[in-house]
Amino acid sequence: MKSPSPKPVAEALAWLVPHISRYSTLPTRAYAHVAYDAKPAAADPVRMHALEQMELRLADCASRLGYGHPQIEKLGTQLRSRPVIQTGPHCYLAFEPDAFYTHIFSAMGLRSHKDSWYVTHSSSTVKFQESDKKGPGWLRLGGQHFNLFGLSNRKMGRLSVCGRDAPQRFALTSAKQTGIASQLAERLKRALPDDEFLSAADAIKTANQSLWRRFFASDLHLLQFDDWDVGDLVAQHLRDPSSWLSSTLFGPSSFAKRLLNHFASFDCGQWADWAKTTTDFFWHFSGGRIFPLRLRDGLFLNESGTFSVQCAPDALLQSLNEREIIPSMLLSFFVTSILPGVRVLGGSRQIVYYPIMRYALLSTLSEFPSPANRSLSVSLGSDQEPSLWGHRTISPGRIDPFSLMTQLGCDFGRLIDCYGEIPLSEAWGSLPAFAGDPLWQTLCKRLAKETALEDRPIWLAGAQQPKQDVIGPSR
């Protein structure tokens, strides 16, 4: 399928995210400022508890990095007053282009508010190689592709970055190297930790902390948390019998199953494939790989039937503690964003599937009208822009970021100022992440045939309560 031109993609983007049309002609820093200007969620016991748990988990991550009480206290204050996290870069080395330019955008927004913490969810339930020589296991330097950990194609295509089945060490190998590429690789390798790590995710996170202090924004503290950290966050919820996860989501009712049914109802018709239920709430983790689980008759089961865990707080807590299961993307967004009221800045697909997650939750809450669920529903309904486009908002340049900052001597602060002045519609370039995506190509073709573009699906509003007469996604 031929990629659409930037214009129809930009029109579709503005239709999905009306904020874009208001800022497309303004300097990118204006949009970055608004993206990081989230308001706290309306008071509700469930959400207040979830935010407290989120704050505790982030404080623990910061403490493990060596930060003291005054700095961690500022982290908590920032989270409560301006609750925003970046979810776009995933578990990439900071010099990977998609991650690098997203860091520029995020630093731009945070600096405009004089905030001191940059919080990112480094999703690690991904494979080393997502496409040909692209993914967390690869890095381009001086026109050459380098294998970060020296893994075979077979391992890169099947193992998850978070796998702890074999220790990992940075290798930066390449089948062929030019003189410049080889020099860049040697220089970068000297800046990377020369240690052995339990997983590639641990190696990348540790390396990013070091690279951030040396090459990036010294006035911003980088805090990365990955899926194992999210698993610990879910465990915190499950240890409390009165928490919403314990009493309702994974409680004795059929709430979890009904929620999955509502979410799955979108995987058909016009919005098919935008919200796939690849697994139900958790992945089974074994041998460095993740396997889908299905919720049937109160049990989470793998396809072969060789692993199962009861859908009950105590059983799930035990499996989380033993690292047998790891939260899915849906559950991760529940505990890090939807429940605590934290805005997420994400990429081209997140701006569609995230509202679907919220709509599925609101629809399920209306079927279980307890006082707690009604209060939670009202609070969710008052959220303002709970998710915004904030990843790949700046299109990568032709020169790889490490060359840009070392060979050409471009410092990070200068890049922030430079891109901050460029109009957003110029900074996003040809919108390659959108134009090259088959789902976006189909969406653009469909919208080109429609005339009432203002008639957005109800679930895209994000803050609206689901209407009782709306059974599935419609337009």
Q: Find how far residue 460's CA is from the centre of its chain.
A: 18
Write out the residue range of the structural domain in which residue 295 sits: 255-327
Q: What is the pLDDT of residue 175?
A: 82
Name the pTM for this structure: 0.94
| Whether residues 444 and 350 fall in one domain | yes
Q: Which two tokens stand for residue 360?
A: 């599925």
Residue at 346 is within a domain:
yes
Residue at 59 is within a domain:
yes
Residue at 191 is within a domain:
no
Q: What is the pLDDT of residue 2?
A: 57
Q: Which residues lie below 8 Å from residue 383, measured CB to CB, with a gap of 6+?
A: 41, 42, 341, 462, 463
Residue at 310 is within a domain:
yes
Q: What is the pLDDT of residue 474?
A: 33
Q: What is the pLDDT of residue 21?
A: 86
Angle between helices 45-64 and 227-239 (to 10 degrees): 130
| Whether residues 16 and 115 fall in one domain | yes
- Tell the residue number behind the tokens 């993609």, with chain if given: 9
Q: Torsion angle of alpha carbons 236, 162, 102, 343, nearest 10°?
A: -20
| Whether residues 16 and 111 fall in one domain | yes
Q: Which two tokens stand for residue 132?
A: 């040909």
Residue at 192 is within a domain:
no
Residue at 458 is within a domain:
no
Q: What is the pLDDT of residue 468?
A: 37
Q: What is the pLDDT of residue 121?
A: 95
| Whether residues 230 and 120 fall in one domain | yes
Q: Which residues lie below 8 Å from residue 336, measured CB to CB, with a gap of 6+?
A: 54, 85, 121, 230, 233, 342, 344
Q: How many folded domains does the chain comprise?
A: 2
How many CB atoms are closer than 10 A to CB 149?
22
In whole angstroms, what is the distance from residue 190 CA to residue 222 CA? 21
Helices and strands, counts by H and E, the chain = 21, 12
Question: Which regions of the chain are under pLDDT 70?
Answer: 1-5, 450-456, 461-475
DSSP letter for each residue of 207-254? HHHHHHHHHS-TTSEEEEE-HHHHHHHHHHHHHSTTSHIIIIITSSSS
The torsion angles phi and psi of 223, rounded to 5 degrees, stand at -130, 110
Tell me which DSSP letter residue 131 carries.
B
- Tell the residue number behind the tokens 């089974």, with chain if given: 284
In whole angstroms, what is the distance from residue 193 CA to residue 205 CA? 11
Nearest to 4 by CA among 456, 432, 454, 353: 432
* Per-residue three-class SS string for 2-46: CCCCHHHHHHHHHHHCCHHHHHCCCEHHHHHHHHCCCCCCCCCHH
Q: CA separation (Å) from 409 to 219, 402, 405?
A: 20, 10, 5
| Whether residues 391 and 314 fall in one domain | no
In whole angstroms, what is the distance from residue 404 CA to residue 411 CA? 9
Q: What is the pLDDT of residues 66-125, one digit of tens each?
A: 999 999 999 999 999 999 999 999 899 999 999 999 999 999 999 999 999 999 999 999
| Whether residues 211 and 297 fall in one domain | no
Three-state DSSP class for residue 137: coil
| Whether residues 62 and 80 fall in one domain | yes
| Whether residues 88 and 226 fall in one domain | yes
Sheet order of strands, 84-86 included: 221-225, 117-121, 84-86, 343-346, 387-389
| Whether residues 224 and 308 fall in one domain | no
| Whether residues 287 and 354 fall in one domain | no
Q: Torsion angle of alpha carbons 123, 126, 128, 129, nearest 10°?
A: -120
| Whether residues 284 and 433 fall in one domain | no
Residue at 393 is within a domain:
yes
| Whether residues 291 and 365 fall in one domain | no
Q: What is the pLDDT of residue 20?
A: 87
Q: What is the pLDDT of residue 5?
A: 65
Residue at 321 is within a domain:
yes
Cβ atoms of residues 147 and 125 within 8 Å: no
Q: Torsion angle of alpha carbons 445, 451, 457, 458, nearest 10°?
A: 170
